[in-house]
Structures are given as structure tokens and as C-alpha cells.
Amino acid sequence: MKKFVSKYFTSHSETREHHEDEALQTHYFKTTKDKALQAVEEIFDSETFTILSTSKEHGEISVNYTDKKKAFIVASIVMVKPFRTAVDFSVTTESGGPVDFGFSRNLIIQLNEKLKKRLTYIESSMANKLNQ
């Protein structure tokens, strides 16, 4: 029951390495940090997204999303090994109440699916395997 509540009754979702929701685990791609950053910027190049800032040094992009709902998105890109780059998203929905009924979670899933079409996806949550 707790997973259901946390999945749909929040206005904020983010990916992380050991997330209990597999759809929200860090995604890894076979690419460099710069190419991943470019691919994420290309995803945000539409009328529904407005890029607020990009830090190539820190591998972060801040974006406003304005479509069905409004949201603030931060994408973090980190190259952990040569041609192994992690991409994480943080989405906070600007809703009238404290919940978005899964909107922020679903937006992250959509962003990851778009990224998988542009970059070679390796897997999710691979921190335990990086030392091998």
C-alpha cells in the first residue's frame, strides 16, 4: 500500500540508483556525458519545455514544462565510466494541491523512453556492477 501511495499521492518524483520503483531507477546509456547532455537538450527542444539553464560543467539542465500541467524538471548527467553515463530526472509538479496522481512519475518515464530512442540504453541501477 505504501508504494501505491508514494507513487500517486505526491507532487514530486525523482530517479535514483536504488529506487524501490524500478521505473524510477537511474538509467545508464552507452555514451559520453556531452552526447547525453545534447540528447537531453534535444528532448527538451519543443513547445512544452523551456530550458532555463544548462551547466555543461555540472551536467545539469533545468527546465519548465508547460502542457497539461506545469512542472519544474532537473536532469542530471554523469559519466561514471568511459561510455557509461547515468541520467537522472527530478520532476516537481506545480499543482493546486499536494498530489499530482502520478503525473511527475509518468513524465519521468516518458523522458526516459524518449532518451532510449536517441541513445544506446544499457540498464538501470548498475552501481553495484561498476566496480567489476
Backbone φ/ψ region at 21: left (φ over 0), alpha (ψ -120 to 50), beta: beta
Cell of 96: 493546486
pLDDT at position 84 is 95
CATH code, residues 2-129? 3.30.530.20
Domain residue spans of the chain: 2-129
Question: How would you write the pLDDT of the chain (132 residues) with one tens digit per residue?
Answer: 445 445 667 889 999 999 899 999 999 999 999 999 999 999 999 999 999 999 999 999 999 999 989 999 999 999 999 999 999 999 999 877 778 889 999 999 999 999 999 999 999 977 556 544
Q: Which of 59, 71, 61 is nearest to 103 (CA)?
A: 71
- CA–CA distance, 82 with 51 (Å, rounded to integer): 27
pLDDT at position 1 is 40
pLDDT at position 2 is 45
pLDDT at position 86 is 97
Cell of 95: 499543482
Q: Which phi and psi angles does 10 have, rounded to 5°?
A: -150, 165
Q: Which of 36, 43, 39 is nearest to 73 (CA)?
A: 43
